[in-house]
Each structure stands twice: as structure tokens, then as C-alpha cells.
Amino acid sequence: MNPFAVEGKLALVTGATRGIGLGIARALGQCGPSLILVGRDEDELERAAEELRQTAPHVYVAPFDLLRTSEIAGWFEDLCGRVGTPDILVNSAGMSRRGAAVDLSLEDWNAVLALNTTAMFELSRAFAKRCIAEGRGARIINIASLMTAAARPGTSPYTASKGAVGQLTKALAVEWAQHGILVNAIAPGYIDTDLNKSLIADEAFSSWVKQRCPLGRWGTPEDIAWPVVFLASSAAAFMTGQIIFVDGGWLATF
């Protein structure tokens, strides 16, 4: 048996139409599981699914706006009734609103916290309830951030939300360990995605990232995707409550 394989499983990935989420879905799709892709835009989901059906056994699309946090539990129950309960949940959907803390609107703050933290909590516990009721273990992999442990000016909502993701990962890990539900997080450094396109386009900022990062480059979605596959596999069967920083060495230096 290959301990790094994820064959015969069903994995749900949020934020799966682009960036880190799509990279994770691509990597998982090459390792055996069927996929449920979650995102707001059905057309983009279908485009991603068409690509991923070349490698994954089955690919389902599940359009939903996770900002509708009060509707997550009902939507998830309906989804499971149609395609089955996932074995793996990857909480990758996220957003950021940048600006000075004194200038940001409360609406911006609430939106970032709602998607990055509240939606993650609601979906994770809906998932865990089904797994506990069915008496089987599962994996939850959250996408945290470099901002889970550090901060920079202009990122207060995002930093707060990702700090919460780190602590939520630990809290759920210790609460659900007795049920065989392993909860871990991957914390990316600066990754070349649409979410960071304005930063990448800023030549001075992009040069600073490359100089500050010991590996001398922006990360890619693939750099995050394969550690997620590891956490989803039996090779990580004795890991829970961990936050793994995949940041090119960023936090190791100053």
C-alpha cells in the first residue's frame, strides 16, 4: 500500500475555481479521490470540473456562496444526500479587504471574518456531525496563512481571521480526535494567485517579497497543494492540531 495515496475517497474543496483551491483540487485529483468543487460561480466550476475529470474518478460541482453562513448546514446536508458524505474537507475559500484599520468599514471587517472564519467553522461542524453520526473518521485541512503568525500594515481583518483559523484548527482537533476526525492547517506564505494580483503587479512589493523570502520567490498553488495531499493521506495518520507553514522559509529568518 502506498501511504501517500488517497484512492477511493471523496474530497470536498472550497474556493476550488482558482488559485490555491484549484491547485489543491488538481493535486488531489491525481491521487485517487473523487472531488466536490465548491465556489460561487457555476460557470467557473464547470470549467474547472471539465479539466479535473481528466484525472479524478468523479467530479461534482456544488455552486454556493459561503458568505451565506446561516444556510451552510442545510446546503451541506442536501449536498451529502445527493453525492454522499465526503471523507476529506479542504477549507480553502478566502478573501481579503486591505486598508488602514482606521479607514476600513465594518462591512469589510464582517465580510472577511464571515468567509475566512465563520464559514469554515459552520462547514467543518456540519461535516463533523455527519462523520460522527456515521461512526467514521475523516480529515479536515484548513488553509491558514503566514498572517496566522505575523502581520503587516493594512491587513487587520485578514490577519485576525487567519489567526482565528489557526486556533480553530487546534480547538476542533482536540474536540474531535476521539471521533477519528483529524484537523490540520497549511499556512501559505506569499503565493502567486489572483488574490495577490495587485501585490504581484507592484514591482517594489514583489521585489521585497523575493528578497525577504529565503527561497527567493513567490510560492505557487502547487507548493501548497502537495502538503495538503499529505495531510489527507494515511501517511499523516498521527497528525492533528498542526499548523504547517509553507512559506519558503519566511518565518525562519528576520
Tell me if 123 is assigned to some domain.
yes
User: Quick check: is 1 in a domain?
Assistant: no
DSSP for 53-120, written as a single string: TTTSS-EEEEE--TT-GGGHHHHHHHHHHHH---SEEEE-------S-TTT--HHHHHHHHIIIIIHH
Residue 53 lies in a domain: yes
**Does residue 195 form part of some domain?**
yes
3-state secondary structure of 234: helix
Residue 124 placed within a domain: yes
Residue 2 domain-assigned (yes or no): no
Residue at 75: amino acid letter: W
Give CA–CA dist 19/26, Å, rounded: 11
Looking from the CA of 172 toward its CB, the CA atoms found within 13 Å total 29
One digit per residue, the tens of pLDDT, for the chain of length 254 reads 789 989 999 999 999 999 999 999 999 999 999 999 999 999 999 999 999 999 999 999 999 999 999 999 999 999 999 999 999 999 999 999 999 999 999 999 999 999 999 999 999 999 999 999 999 999 999 999 999 999 999 999 999 999 999 999 999 999 999 999 999 999 999 999 987 888 899 999 999 999 999 999 999 999 999 999 999 999 999 999 999 999 999 999 98
Note whether residue 138 is domain-resident: yes
Residue-range definition of the domain harbouring residue 161: 10-247
Taking the C-alpha atoms of residue 251 and residue 150, their distance in angstroms, rounded to an integer, is 8
In a domain, 5, yes or no: no
Are the beta carbons of 16 and 48 closer than 8 angstroms?
yes
Rounded to 5 degrees, what are φ and ψ at 223? -60, -30
| Helix axis angle, 19-29 to 221-232, nearest 10° | 50
Q: Tell me, what's the pLDDT at 22?
A: 97
What are the angstrom distances between the C-alpha of 42 and each of 38, 62, 69?
A: 9, 8, 19
Which is nearest to 240 in space by CA: 147, 192, 171, 149? 171
**Under 8 Å between Cβ of 248 and 215:** yes
Count other C-beta atoms under 10 Å from residue 177's C-beta: 14
CATH of the domain at 41: 3.40.50.720
Active-site amino acid positions? 158
Count of domains for the chain: 1
